[in-house]
Amino acid sequence: MRTIGYIIQKEFKQIFRNKGMLPIIFILPILQLVVLSNAATYEVNNIKFAYIDSDHSSTSRTLIEKFDASSFFDVLAVYPSDKQATSAMLSGEVDVVIEIPNHFERDLLKEKSTTLGVRINAIDGSAAGVKGGYINEIVQDFNREVRLDYMDASRRDIKPAMIWGIPSFWYNTSLDYKTFMVPGILVLLVTMISLFLSGMNIVREKEIGTLEQLNVTPISKSQFIIGKLFPFWVIGLGLLTIGLILAKIIFNTPMLGSMFLLYVYTSVYILLILGMGLFISNYTDTQQQAMFIAWFFVVIFILMSGLFTPIESMPKWAQIITEFNPIKYFVEVVRMLLLKGSGWADILPQLLKTFACAVIMNALAVWSYKKTT
């Protein structure tokens, strides 16, 4: 036990002695949590909007006013012809162009129907769909008003049957995406710090040559590994704590469930991540290799965690891969505990899976660590 204590002491000293690393471990993640949580939104607004008005009638002007009044659209420009509009689309100045044709008003009043050209930059397909929806809504609204103004009283009785879909957003009524993103980003940061630090740790001693010195000491394998991992485990939990406090103060993130459960889960989770880091460390010769491998897994874990894009939308085989993604479970658990107030029974499956993975990973790591070089 005393031996472990000394190794832990040594590791802590080494971490805190390196003044260049401290801000990277503590300040950088916190800064990112505060700033980047604001970035992750799929909301579509400030749409860069322009129009071509070939009709110059009062109807066309009223229609444009509708777009101007909508909070979703920024009416940026009016173009005299299609050529300028196309060029503005190409350079990315505008993303939506509507084109009001000649005789727009006349057709609407005489033929009782007219068309409106809409062009949407669809590189971001899902945003384009939403933009199309907004435009339809505005035009429908406008249609209704026109109808009221011009229709004969006798025909006003004909009303189409309406099905009203009434949206109701539970657990997050105002659709505040920060509530959702802050815990998620915190998860990512805790994971990255723990994995990168532990992944680099032993291989660093290997590269510098100090591992040999440690190997000839009477320290046993398990003592060595526990001593190596414990400091990072503490750092990971410390980072979580700072992050949670900031989330509460700055973002007012709801914390409905039990904090104790969250810490129980996180303790097991960080153990899993540290085991992975150690395993990577054992199988590489240089820090560069260790880093590449850690990077590879982290990018996959992050992008397939369901944090930024929904897992249900992935093809079946990809969903199976996500079953092996620890970040996915952590994100689920944090969301369930903080936002939904779930209890023991609800997070038990995730906890068990994470625990099993942690045991396997650490067993592998201990087994693959050889005291000889």
58, 71, 313, 372: which one contacts other proteins (CB under 8 A)?
A: 313
Site for other proteins in 213-232 (CB under 8 A): none
Measured from the Cβ of residue 47, the count of other Cβ atoms closer than 10 Å reads: 22
Which of these ranges, 109-117, 211-219, 265-273, 361-369, lies near other proteins under the rule CB under 8 A? 109-117
Measured CA to CA, the distance from residue 115 to residue 99 in angstroms comes to 9
Which residues ranging from 27 to 56 are in contact with other proteins (CB under 8 A)?
A: 28-29, 32, 35-36, 38-48
Of 12, 230, 263, 295, which one interacts with other proteins (CB under 8 A)?
Answer: 295
Q: Is residue 115 a contact residue for other proteins (CB under 8 A)?
A: yes
Judged by CB under 8 A, which of 18, 62, 102, 252 binds other proteins? 18
C-alpha separations of 180 from 98, 207, 240, 305, 342 in Å:
35, 41, 16, 14, 15
CB of 170 to other proteins, least distance (A): 6
The continuous run of DSSP H or E covering 11 comes out as helix 2-17
Nearer to other proteins, 169 or 260 (CB): 169
Applying CB under 8 A, among 303, 356, 360, 363 the residue interacting with other proteins is 303
Minimum CB distance to other proteins smaller for 193 or for 268: 193
Query: What's the Rg (C-alpha) of the chain?
Result: 29
Stretch that binds other proteins, among 4-12, 181-189, 225-233, 258-266 (CB under 8 A): 181-189
From CA 148, how far away is CA 325, in angstroms rounded?
56
Q: Which of 30, 26, 28, 46 is nearest to 251 (CA)?
A: 30
The yes or no reply on residue 62 touching other proteins (CB under 8 A) is: no
Please name the helix (run of DSSP H) or strand (run of DSSP E) that holds residue 49, with its range, or none: strand 47-53
> Does 373 interact with other proteins (rule: CB under 8 A)?
no
**Residue 324 interacts with other proteins (CB under 8 A): yes or no:** no
Closest CA to 100 of 142, 66, 135, 57: 57
- Distance, in Å, from the CA atom of 265 to the CA atom of 342, rounded to the nearest integer, reads 13
Single residue of 234, 291, 364, 366 touching other proteins by CB under 8 A = 291
The two three-digit tokens of residue 290, written as one number: 């260790």
The label of the residue with tokens 């060029």 reads: 87
What is the sign, positive or negative, of the torsion defined by CA atoms of 229, 231, 236, 240?
A: positive
Decide: 349 and 295 in contact? Cβ < 8 Å: no
CB of 16 to other proteins, least distance (A): 14
CB of 125 to other proteins, least distance (A): 3
102 contributes a contact to other proteins by CB under 8 A: no
Query: Which of 223, 306 has the CB closer to other proteins?
Result: 306
Please identify which residue in 259, 288, 356, 360 interacts with other proteins, judged by CB under 8 A.
Answer: 288
Query: Is 268 an interacting residue with respect to other proteins (CB under 8 A)?
Result: no
Buried b (16+ CB within 10 A) or exposed e, 80-94: eeeeebeebbeeeeb
Q: Does 3 bind other proteins (CB under 8 A)?
A: no
**Cβ at position 248, least distance to other proteins in Å:** 17
Q: Per rule CB under 8 A, is residue 143 in the interface with other proteins?
A: yes
121-140: contacts with other proteins (CB under 8 A): 121-130, 132-133, 135-136, 139
Quick one: which of 10, 82, 207, 214 contacts other proteins (CB under 8 A)? 207
Contacting other proteins within 67-86 (CB under 8 A): none
The answer to whether 225 touches 366, Cβ cutoff 8 Å, is yes
Residue 19, SS3 per DSSP:
coil
- CA dist 71 and 280 (Å) reads 50
Cβ of residue 162: shortest distance to other proteins, in angstroms? 5
Q: Which of 71, 154, 168, 373 binds other proteins (CB under 8 A)?
A: 168
Q: Which two tokens stand for residue 305?
A: 């965690």
- What type of residue sits at position 89? M
